[in-house]
Amino acid sequence: MKLTQGLRMAFMSVLSNKLRTVLSMLGILIGVATVIALVAMGRASSNEVAEQVSALGSPNSLQINITGRGTVTTLSVEEATELGDVANVAGVAPITSTNAYAKYGKTQVSVTVEGITPSYEAVKDFPVQDGRYLAAPDLTGNTKAALIGVDTAADLFEEEGEDPLAAVGKKITINGYNFTIVGLLESQGSSLAGSNDEKILIPITTAQKIFQIGGVSTINLMVEDIDLMDATVAGAEAVLYEKFRGNENAYRVFNQEEAMETLSSVNETMNRQLIYVAIISLIVGGIGIMNIMLVSVTERTREIGIRKSLGAKKRDILFQFLVEAVCISGLGGAFGIGLGYAASFIIGAVMQSETEVPGNTVLLAFAFSALVGVVFGYLPANKAASLRPVDALRHD
């Protein structure tokens, strides 16, 4: 039997039982679509994690969190500034943070208030879009100047019918203290630590005075050469180790690059587990194909006997039934790819993140679906090919 003749007969057999074919390939279709959708979701999740981590600061930044030792739970601003002497450190930004109530007119909102130094702008890469930044005289004079985030400005001023973009120069109260807005911050979006646009920045000395904060528990460092990040981390840890007399639990140096690697690793592990579930779905679909093909062999026993009596060889019968199984699984894989792309588009819209379906994933999913057809179609095909013509013709 010629190859083209075998293919034509297999396709005619598949198309003659359309409902059975559709039901048979559903498992493969769902499995392939699930694999593609999960890979797309994994890419979207990875992109979102990258954005969230990058929002914590530039790649050449370090964050130090002080948990303390005994009664000493913070560092003074002066002690924090000394970390600037560590090799490869280009800037230091000590920060105090607390929750407070900001009020303008009759509108009051809960907001994060951070006490900062002028170096915050460069170290955190957080400039103003209007007005000025805090300067050294604001710290020495304990001035009540404030920088306001765009979301907080909108919450305060839109309720009063005023333009939040014209916030500079207006006066607000923070926990009852009058402050003048000197700058409107650029929008920074959200990060793993929360929204960067729902905050107010004030001089660190003013924050310590009105909120009764004795020291700083968060310090941001800007690194000159990112290739020397490990050495910089070691240098900062050495200074902290000495200050806290060997208690390594009193501080934590947060490396953005390490955080990205950790989160990506966790994300990849979760996606891998989900893909394993999708592969199980493909295998279940393959079992469904095998079951349908076994039924088909039983129904077509007399046909097989007639063909064998007319000279069809075992390999011809085997080839025909294998092609039928591969056609069913291949069609399921093709439709599954289309459904997977549609699902990835919907996932991207829901997650509001860019999804991506690698071409090699599509090819691998389709190849696996075809392989499932070969593997699970072989038993029925071999059963059909092994029938003796006399027994087949006697079949009722």
Kindly report, residue by residue over 210-258, the tens digit of the pLDDT. 998 888 889 999 888 888 888 888 899 898 888 888 888 888 888 766 6
Higher per-residue pLDDT: 361 or 136: 136
Please report the pLDDT score of residue 157 as a whole number. 93
CA separation for the pair 26, 31 (Å, rounded): 8
Q: What is the pLDDT of residue 30?
A: 82
Q: Nearest to residue 18, comparing CAs of 290, 321, 298, 327?
A: 327
**Using a CB cutoff of 8 Å and minimum separation of 24, what contacts does 16-25 make?**
17/296, 20/292, 21/328, 21/331, 23/288, 23/292, 24/288, 24/289, 24/292, 24/328, 24/332, 25/285, 25/289, 25/328, 25/329, 25/331, 25/332, 25/335
* Sequence-ordered list of residues with C-beta below 8 angstroms from that of 14, at least 6 positions apart, any chain: 21, 324, 327, 328, 331
Give me the residue spans of the domains in the chain.
Answer: 3-52+261-394, 73-243
pLDDT recorded at residue 34 = 81
Average pLDDT, the chain: 81
Closest CA to 191 of 256, 119, 130, 235: 256
Name which residue leads in pLDDT, 188 or 141. 141
Q: Each residue of 258-297: pLDDT tens digit?
A: 666 676 677 677 667 767 776 777 777 777 777 777 777 7
Residue 2, pLDDT above cutoff 70? no
Our measurement of the distance from residue 131's CA atom to the centroid of its chain's CA atoms, rounded to an integer in Å, reads 36
Q: Are 321 and 300 in contact (CB under 8 A)?
A: no
**Is 115's pLDDT higher than 80?**
yes
pLDDT tens, residue by residue, 14-57: 677 777 777 777 878 888 888 888 778 777 776 666 666 555 55
18 contact partners, CB below 8 Å, separation of at least 6? none
Residue with tokens 């999740």: 45
CA 190 to chain centroid: 14
pLDDT of residue 327: 80
Q: Is 159 helix (H, G, I), strand (E, B) or coil?
A: coil
Structure confidence by residue, pLDDT tens digits, 132-184: 999 999 999 999 999 999 999 999 998 888 999 999 999 999 999 999 999 99
Q: Is 388 helix (H, G, I), strand (E, B) or coil?
A: coil
Identify the pLDDT of residue 150.
93
For 107, left (φ over 0), alpha (ψ -120 to 50), or beta?
beta
Quote the CA–CA distance of 378 and 373 in Å, as a whole number: 8
**Residue 73: its pLDDT value, please?**
77
Lowest-pLDDT range, 109-123, 296-310, 361-375? Answer: 296-310
pLDDT above 90 for 192: no
Q: Which has the minimum average pLDDT: 97-106, 205-214, 353-362?
A: 353-362
| Spatial separation of the C-alpha atoms in residues 193 and 177, rounded to whole Å | 27
Residue bearing the bigger pLDDT, 284 or 79: 79
Is the pLDDT assigned to residue 314 strictly greater than 90? no
pLDDT at 3: 58
CA 362 and chain centroid, separation: 20
Amino acid identity of residue 171, one-letter, is K
**pTM, 2 dp:** 0.61
Among 122-131, 332-341, 364-373, the minimum mean pLDDT is found in 364-373
Q: What is the pLDDT of residues 28-37, one digit of tens each?
A: 888 888 888 8
User: Which residues are within 8 A (CB) of 126 and not within 5 positions of it... i.e. 6 or more apart?
Assistant: 120, 185, 186, 188, 196
Under the banding of pLDDT at 50, 70 and 90, the label for residue 95 is: very high
pLDDT at residue 14, as a whole number: 67
pLDDT band (50, 70, 90) for residue 395: low
